[in-house]
Amino acid sequence: MAASVCRVGTTVGRALAKNRSPILLSLRRGQSSVSYAQSLAGAPETRLTALDNGLRVASEETGHATCTVGLWISAGSRYENEKNNGAGFFLEHMAFKGTKKYPQTALEQQVESMGAHLNAYTSREHTAYYMKTLAKDLPKAVELLAEVVQSCSLNEAEIEQQRGVLLRELEEVDGNLQEVCLDLLHATAFQGTPLGQSVLGPSKNARQDKPQSLTRENLVDYINSHYKAPRMVLAAAGGVNHEELVGLAKSNFSGISFEYEGDAVPVLSPCRFTGSDIRMRDDGFPLAHIAIAVEGASVTSPDIVPLMVANCIIGSYDLTYGGGKHLSSRLARLAVEANLCHSFQAFHSSYSDTGLMGIYFVTDKNSIEDMMHWSQNAWMNLCTTVTESDVTRGKNALKASLVGQLNGTTPICDDIGRHILNYGRRIPLAEWDARIDAVTASVVRDVCTKYIYDKCPAVAAVGPVEQLPDYNRMRSAMYWLRF
């Protein structure tokens, strides 16, 4: 049963939520490969329909024998407060503990009999429940998803049992220093705002013996406040017929309310960015995990593509990479030649009205200062001296990355769901290609100057971080007195 009903609410799930990108490589039948131009022309259309209650239905038909169908909801830790932080993640756990119609054993048997996989994840702004199954079993899959989302049993005994599971998972996450570092980065960058909260929530909210503990009432209130039809998208990809999917949506989801109690529609409060640093020093760890970031672009900002190209110019590196000093990324070559770090990656986490653009690296305690210097130097190069050849390489790398990531019905379905929530539509593949092609060296310099140059960074560090420079020194490296 473990292979059929599972959760991906932590590292894997959030990586899926953050990193899936809107490019699809379509291979025509009878051909071993196609050109990039052919993939642009051959991308299937994404169809969109809205039900009377505001729930949107979106699908992409590819003719596969399998499909992925799921419900994407505009709800996550950003919609929580200090008291109920972790409620969305708790509900994700409870989703597979049975519904009013299907107790846990019956639910597992239903999924198992279809040979399907039922999964879920929660991020800061989105929650998703989805199932991969044979195309012929689409009606049953939609019915089970409707049960999980609308009729979760929330049995008191199961809630108490899941507290222990949550606490063990929190302990596991504490052992993943990348997760810890990036959560700390959000906590300091968006301090005092809901976006600074972790998806899992604090352990005090999961414990049974604490006055702040999450209760069944908290979970029910969360569902009643956020699981509303206009904030939901039923998305599907693979061997699906759009008209059939719309009919299934009407049969199973028409009863979801679109009204809020007292017309109190939840409104996201602005999440201000604060330049600051947070250090969790522990000399017992073998390596230091450090992230530095500035406020990035929102998911709908026109600056998002130039910033993605800029991140591809910086690139990533790991000790397992081959190539050595012949790597295309300048920072990667420096990392190899000067033994600066074990790994690094440029990242951009986008949210509805803000974002985080940064570099995360893992290094020896004696190389922290050097790696931080060259990371900030890479940013300054983007703002001042980036060349057309750099940008061309970055654009090619971005296209290759985007094309390669959507390699199955599940990532395509996830991409559809998040696009409808973020943009109100699925942005066509050709449009993304045109946006990437429009980026020039001048555009990269201008956009990076807007977001990076002489801006206060947020820094998070975990491990043996004594050598991490003082914040004022890192702040002074965010500009050059000469080009």
d(CA 271, CA 268): 9
CB atoms inside a 10 Å sphere around CB 364:
17
Residue type, 264: A
Handedness of CA 335, 337, 340, 342 (dihedral sign): positive
Residues whose CB is less than 8 angstroms from the CB of residue 251 and which lie 6 or more positions away in sequence, other chains included:
none
Buried b (16+ CB within 10 A) or exposed e, 223-251: bebbbbbbbbbbbbbbbbbbeebbebbee
- Is 261 part of the annotated catalytic residue set? no
Closest by Cα among 87, 93, 129, 56 to 225: 87
Q: Kind and range of the H or E element at 233? A: strand 232-238
Closest by Cα among 311, 310, 314, 315 to 444: 310
d(CA 433, CA 293): 27
Closest by Cα among 300, 334, 336 to 320: 336
Exposed, middle or buried, 217 (CB in 10 Å: 0-12/13-18/19+)? exposed
Handedness of CA 50, 54, 56, 57 (dihedral sign): negative
Structure token pair of residue 347: 């990242």
- Helical residues (DSSP H) of 151-256, grouped into ranges: 156-174, 177-189, 203-206, 216-226, 242-253
d(CA 347, CA 15): 11
Exposed, middle or buried, 30 (CB in 10 Å: 0-12/13-18/19+)? exposed
Closest by Cα among 49, 109, 413 to 247: 49
d(CA 214, CA 219): 7
Instruction: Give the CA-trace dihedral at 41, 443, 394, 275, to 10 degrees.
Output: -120
Q: Which of 60, 80, 92, 179 is catalytic?
A: 92
Q: Does residue 344 contact residue 375 with C-beta atoms inside 8 Å?
A: yes
Query: What residues act catalytically?
Result: 92
